[in-house]
Amino acid sequence: MEFVCLDLEGVLVPEIWSKVAEFTGEEKFNLTTQEVKDYSLLMDMRVELVNLTGLTMKDINLVVDKMEPLEGAKEFVDWVRDNFQLAIVSDSFYQLAWPLIRKLGTPSIICHHLDIDRDKLRGYKLRHKENKKRVVQSLKALDYRVFAAGDSFNDIQMLTEADLGVFFRAPQHIREEFSNIPGLESYSELKELFLQSSKFI
């Protein structure tokens, strides 16, 4: 059997923190893993900004609740689940991602946890520093073939570890730096590539 591992933000849903930037007017929230390679450094900055701007988790959750999956994402997820095993493998956090996961039909997700105390964001706990890579390695150790798609620096290890790894709507500077990884722009292209690569369909 074959597993598809998909990144969440930028692949299936908009970037959550970019929506927080729109809500607060704080431009630094627009920085994502497409610009910052060190994820811990990025999250430390976000936690600091949240506290400096006085944001509560209720505020952030209101932003997330208004978000919708990218156009065609729900249909694509449904198609993947009909033809493959599926795991969303994200560097997001359960407390943020879950409302969007529900809008995608509640596929399985493997991500991290936020440290919240009395509606304040105190920090975060990573499931594993190499979470995405370890998920792919574990699936391959169980004799699954793994196809993966992502759009950012933090997806590189997952994409290179998978039997088939592709960029999906990744910015040009990332695609140029990792030119050995193919890039696609539409869900229809992803479907076609997964079908061509499958040994079971």
E strand map for 67-160: 85-93, 109-117, 120-125, 145-150
Q: In residues, how long is the chain? A: 201
Residue 22: which residues within 8 A CB-CB, separation 6 or more?
none
> Active site residue: 2, 9, 151, 155, which one?
9
> Active site residue: 2, 7, 155, 161, which one?
7
E strand map for the chain: 2-6, 85-93, 109-117, 120-125, 145-150, 164-168, 183-184
Taking the alpha carbons of 63, 50, 90, 174 in that order, is the dihedral positive or negative?
positive
Here the tokens at position 70 are: 């990218």
Is residue 65 among the annotated active site residues?
Answer: no
Is residue 35 among the annotated active site residues?
Answer: no
Nearest residue to 35 via CA among 148, 171, 141, 133? 171
- Name the maximum alpha-carbon separation found in the chain: 52
Contact 61, 93 (CB under 8 A): no
Rg (CA), the chain: 17
What is the set of active-site residues? Answer: 7, 9
